[in-house]
């Protein structure tokens, strides 16, 4: 029995069956590359759903983690620590907001945003108690908590988990007219991703974010931009909203905030929104802990000093152009921004899963999303030479066809 089979068997025996990962067992990583327990090397083109934009085990982030782990890891928010303030200062200056509220997972930061905008709606805008509405986009993915899945349009995410949290209205993604029509006097906020990753790398029409900014400002509605996956350089700008210079009222960040070294997230806004919180209103034992804050400081520094957003833009434009040259009959469309690229597979050619399995056999790790899309999102530290190595292998796989009758044979 191979080491891979040993670990797969152990996971199958003891793990809840809530994921369907590729049968690859990874044990180490460096930069854009990872190695499995049997010594096989892969180009990681998922980057932990963009959590490792800085690459696996970046030396500067590892050094910060090691040094802080030996000093102090957790104080809780009952006391101050010497890392949280500098981290939030750095994050606020990078994002262009006055205040930040640190949390851990992306879902926690989204929950923080929901609480903030509802309280703003009730206490500042004057919406009657318990009547605040939040507009969201169809196809959204903001996390897995009960409240967040309440406004998901993916039925599997909701099946068996009700009753659900009320107060949300769903409109088509990228439709400015639908947004304006959905606004009522009780609307407190519009929560959306600027580009939908989990939905299949869905890119909205040009100018949509500017229209969102105009409409929400006109109607005194907060616009909350969820950049957990698209932010911190992934799309070729530090934040995707910067492509249209349409600054939101609030920003949600996570994943790459700590370079994949530790879960760190945050909700950012100016004082007019963040001022609704009072001591005791909201919190987190681990949010803002010195270990995560020290790692976050190093991770943000790497993004800036290595100009990773610029790299994502330049390499992403080139890489997407090379993918489009392949003109595979199995492909419907290739779309994305920066190094967040989706390749949509024709239904007649099968689902995306066997394409991802074939890529893994050739040393390239991707993961299907929404059945028909192969997502390419390597670390922003990836080199052009790395991608040139991958291109002929990708071309070989995209030239294949996995008929629906074969799609279940893995």
Provide the residue range defining the domain that includes 314. Answer: 3-54+307-406
Active site residue 20: no
Q: Which of 279, 305, 331 is the last residue of a domain?
A: 305
Give me the sheet containing 340-345, strands edge to edge.
331-337, 340-345, 373-376, 367-369
CATH number of the domain at 346, please: 3.90.1150.10
Calculate what percentage of the chain has a pLDDT beyond 90: 97
Active-site residue identified among 36, 44, 225, 226: 226
Residues 99 and 185 in one domain: yes
Residues 204 and 324 in one domain: no
Cα 337 to Cα 82, 183, 195, 390: the distances in Å are 37, 29, 9, 19
Cα 82 to Cα 74, 85, 219, 263, 267: the distances in Å are 11, 7, 41, 19, 20
Residues 245 and 330 in one domain: no
Active-site residue identified among 7, 141, 267, 402: 141
Residues 323 and 191 in one domain: no
Total domains, the chain: 2
Cα 236 to Cα 223, 272, 373, 377: the distances in Å are 22, 30, 21, 12
Active site residue 371: no
Active-site residue identified among 99, 119, 211, 255: 255
Q: How far apart are CA 380 and CA 55, in angstroms?
A: 7
Q: pLDDT digits over 132-160, tens only?
A: 999 999 999 999 999 999 999 999 999 99
Active site residue 403: no
Give 182's contacts (C-beta < 8 A, 6+ positions apart): 135, 169, 171
pTM above 0.85, yes or no: yes
Q: Which of 247, 273, 305 is the last residue of a domain?
A: 305
Residues 280 and 396 in one domain: no
Q: Which of 280, 305, 330 is the last residue of a domain?
A: 305
Residues 97 and 160 in one domain: yes
Residues 301 and 342 in one domain: no
Q: pLDDT digits over 166-213, tens only?
A: 999 999 999 999 999 999 999 999 999 999 999 999 999 999 999 999
Note the pLDDT of residue 407: 43
Q: What's the mean pLDDT in 320-331?
A: 96
CATH number of the domain at 130, please: 3.40.640.10
Q: How far apart are CA 400 and CA 385, in angstroms?
A: 24
Note the pLDDT of residue 1: 82
């Amino acid at each position: 029995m191979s080491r891979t089979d040993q670990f797969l068997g152990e996971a199958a025996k003891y793990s809840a069956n809530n994921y369907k990962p590729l049968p690859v067992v990874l044990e180490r990583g460096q930069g854009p590359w990872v190695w499995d327990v049997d010594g096989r090397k892969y180009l990681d083109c998922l980057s932990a759903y963009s959590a490792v934009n800085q690459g696996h085990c970046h030396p500067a982030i590892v050094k910060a983690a090691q040094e802080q782990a030996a000093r102090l890891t957790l104080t809780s928010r009952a006391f101050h620590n010497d890392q949280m303030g500098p981290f939030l200062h750095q994050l606020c200056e990078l994002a262009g907001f006055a205040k930040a509220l640190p949390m851990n997972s992306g879902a926690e930061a989204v929950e923080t945003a929901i609480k903030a905008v509802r309280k703003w709606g009730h206490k500042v805008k004057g919406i009657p108690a318990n009547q605040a509405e939040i507009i969201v986009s169809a196809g959204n993915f903001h996390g897995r908590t009960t409240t967040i899945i309440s406004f998901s349009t993916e039925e599997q995410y909701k099946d068996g988990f009700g009753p659900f949290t009320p107060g949300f209205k769903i409109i088509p993604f990228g439709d400015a007219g639908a947004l304006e029509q959905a606004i009522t006097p009780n609307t407190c906020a519009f929560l959306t991703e600027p580009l939908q990753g989990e939905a299949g790398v869905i890119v909205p029409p040009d100018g949509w974010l500017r229209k969102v900014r105009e409409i929400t400002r006109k109607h005194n509605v907060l616009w909350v931009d969820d950049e957990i996956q698209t932010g911190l350089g992934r799309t070729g700008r530090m934040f995707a909203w910067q492509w249209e210079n349409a600054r939101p009222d609030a920003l949600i960040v996570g994943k790459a905030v700590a370079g994949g070294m530790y879960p760190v997230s945050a909700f950012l806004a100016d004082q007019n929104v963040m001022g609704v919180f009072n001591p005791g209103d909201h919190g987190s034992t681990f949010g803002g802990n010195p270990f995560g804050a020290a790692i976050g400081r190093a991770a943000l520094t790497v993004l800036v000093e290595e100009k990773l957003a610029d790299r994502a833009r330049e390499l992403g434009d080139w890489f997407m152009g090379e993918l489009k040259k392949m003109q595979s009959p199995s492909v419907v469309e290739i779309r994305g921004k920066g190094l967040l690229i989706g390749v949509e597979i024709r239904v007649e050619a099968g689902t995306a899963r066997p394409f991802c399995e074939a890529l893994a056999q050739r040393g390239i790790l991707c993961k299907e999303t929404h059945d028909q899309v192969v997502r390419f999102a390597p670390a922003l530290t990836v080199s052009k030479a790395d991608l040139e190595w991958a291109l002929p292998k990708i071309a070989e796989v995209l030239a294949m066809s996995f008929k629906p009758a074969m799609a279940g044979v893995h």
